[in-house]
Amino acid sequence: MTRPLHCENLPLTDLAEQFGTPLYVYSQNALTKAFSAYTDAFAAQQPLVCYAVKANGNLSILKHFAALGSGFDIVSGGELARVLAAGGDAGKTIFSGVGKSEAEIEFALEAGVLCFNVESLPELDRINAVAARLGKTAPVSLRINPDVDAKTHPYISTGLKANKFGIAYADALDAYRYAASLGRLNIVGIDCHIGSQLIDLSPLQEACERILLLVDQLAAEGIVLQHIDLGGGVGIIYQNENQPDLAGYAAAVQRLFAGRPQTLILEPGRSLVGNAGTLLTKVEFVKHGEEKNFVIVDAAMNDLMRPALYDAYHHIEAVVPKAIPPFTADIVGPICETGDFLGKARTLTCEAGDLLAIRSAGAYAASMASNYNTRNRAAEVLVNGSSVQQIRRRETIEQQLANESACL
């Protein structure tokens, strides 16, 4: 009999039988190795690695990274609550995002976050006002848009003039001067983030060079920074991409940082969790059409939005390949949308009742999941060697309906 695919030491067939499908399966060893890749590559700088919670905010994953010494990059008050619930350190947490509310700023100040990554002058005013009301001083770092093309998908490019993120490079000095004029702000750093899923890391080096020029100009004006945050964005292999040269990027940063006293901060997300996760799904039907074939599975776009949203590729394979003629088909879910596809034109050997593994589903899968078509969100499990823990129970219809009322 063909050996089924495994996660670490456990067969995916056993996990499906125990927990059902669709099912997100994560490898704890893969999470650890991905985090260590950063700490090893950048060892000379001893950086603060702040995991980007938006990639996957499961409490157990956050707790694991916290135990490894990770800080956190958050973009909402809800993500801060997750970090704290998982035992993360607010003092190693950076609050990013373009639209922080007064309530979120107050929550973060009371919790004692490391700093706010500020993206506009009105946000500076709001943080200053909230800090004054609370009798506190708010640590801030300005997110500067270096106008560097990350050469990635337009939806996940964040460093160009046309993007909503950050303060324009040409306006950076004036923005820092304005921040220095506000009485309840403590300027502690500078930040940039040019995009996500970067395979060629040379744009990151270019952004670093432009940011360091600003650091020197600020120092000449008496604004001396404590940290330099180069953001995240390092990609992963989904299909046939080249392996990003993390060591080469780290060596370039080490050269550029030579003699500088500031702490280096990095904000990886996808590259820490993406390839640690698999979405396990069951084939419901194989439908042979006039123009194409379809493999209809019990996972759908509400479980993995990336293909529908970005036309993103995820490798899909049979958990137990069968000795039957292979055929080419679109892998689709049961949602009532033509855009509900998980893969197009894939060659597989499978039949109804078989299991498929959708790879690279550790990032932006569970975190973007929804209840569209009143579907329950899937369970999540974390595998460590030969043991497994359920880290999120499968949602129930009762839980979905609990906050609604049938009023006339």
Residues tagged active-site = 336
Q: What is the largest CA-CA distance in the chain?
A: 72
Q: Is 289 annotated in some ligand binding site?
A: no
Q: Is 233 annotated in some ligand binding site?
A: yes
Q: Is 334 annotated in some ligand binding site?
A: no
Residues paired with residue 27 on neighbouring β-strands, in sequence order:
383
Q: Is 91 annotated in some ligand binding site?
A: no
Q: Is 26 annotated in some ligand binding site?
A: no
Tokens of 317: 């394979």
The residue written with tokens 């003092």 in the block is 91
List, in order, residues 6 or more apart from 129 with CB less than 8 Å away: 184
Give how far Cα 328 sits from Cα of 196, 286, 287, Å.
31, 11, 11
Q: Is 364 annotated in some ligand binding site?
A: yes
The C-alpha angle with vertex 307 and arms to 304 and 308, in degrees rounded to 5, equals: 95
Q: Is 269 annotated in some ligand binding site?
A: yes
Dist. CA 79–CA 81, nearest whole Å: 5
Tokens of 323: 């000795």
Q: Is 307 annotated in some ligand binding site?
A: no
SS (H, E, C) the chain: CCCCCEECCEEHHHHHHHHCCCEEEEEHHHHHHHHHHHHHHCHHHCCEEEEEHHHCCCHHHHHHHHHCCCEEEECCHHHHHHHHHCCCCHHHEEECCCCCCHHHHHHHHHHCCCEEEECCHHHHHHHHHHHHHHCCCEEEEEEEECCCCCCCCHHHECCCCCCCCCEEHHHHHHHHHHHHHCCCEEEEEEECCCECCECCCHHHHHHHHHHHHHHHHHHHCCCCCCEEECCCCECCCCCCCCCCCHHHHHHHHHHHHCCCCCEEEECCCHHHHHHHEEEEEEEEEEEECCCCEEEEECCCCCCCCHHHHHCCCCCEEECCCCCCCCEEEEEECCCCCCCCEEEEEEEECCCCCCEEEECCCCCCCHHHCCCHHHCCCCEEEEEECCEEEEEECCCCHHHHHCCCCCCC
Q: Is 102 annotated in some ligand binding site?
A: no
Tokens of 88: 């993360």
Mark the binding-site residues for pyridoxal 5'-phosphate, compressed into ranges.
Answer: 233, 267-270, 364
Mark the binding-site residues, compressed into ranges.
Answer: 233, 267-270, 306, 310, 337, 364
Mark the binding-site residues for substrate, compressed into ranges.
Answer: 270, 306, 310, 337, 364
